[in-house]
Amino acid sequence: MRRRIWPWGLVFLIVPILAVSCSDKEASTNVKYPDYVLSAPARVKEAYEFAVTNPEVLAYMPCYCGCGDAGHTSNKDCYIKEAKGDGTFVFDSHGFG
């Protein structure tokens, strides 16, 4: 009998792989991350870095945690509230915990 992988299982498998293989580390080094990200475990910081360098990927990934009430339309919204024209970001703490 085949076991079906839950959508979260796919996210937890795909995001770290893409973060390592696709992210542009140089682009994310100039970003000012909030203190809660900087003091978090490495996996959390990597997730925020992935969101900064690959927002178009997360924009296609729906979130299943019920954060739609907060106005989130994709997994990207759990990390980034706004990408400003000057290259800065307003982060969302939802992806932190």
Q: Using 50, 70 and 90 to split pLDDT, how confident is the model at 26?
A: very low
pLDDT in tens, 29-75: 578 999 999 999 999 999 999 999 999 998 988 877 777 677 778 88
First to last CA, the chain: 34
**Residue 44 backbone dihedrals phi, psi, to 5 degrees:** -70, -45
- Whether 23 is covered by a domain: the verdict is no
Any idea which residue has 């203190």 for tokens? Answer: 35
- Whether 26 is covered by a domain: the verdict is no
pTM over 0.75: no
Q: Which residue has the higher pLDDT, 27 or 66?
A: 66
Question: What average pLDDT score do residues 22-31 get?
Answer: 56
Predicted pLDDT at 15: 56
- Whether 52 is covered by a domain: the verdict is yes
- Whether 49 is covered by a domain: the verdict is yes
- Whether 48 is covered by a domain: the verdict is yes
What residue numbers bound the domain in which 71 lies?
Answer: 7-18+31-96
Q: What is the number of domains present in the chain?
A: 1
- Whether 2 is covered by a domain: the verdict is no
Predicted pLDDT at 29: 57
Predicted pLDDT at 90: 92
- Whether 92 is covered by a domain: the verdict is yes
Residue 23 has pLDDT above 50, yes or no: no
Using CB atoms within 10 Å of the CB of residue 83, give its burial: 0 to 12 exposed, 13 to 18 middle, 19+ buried.
middle
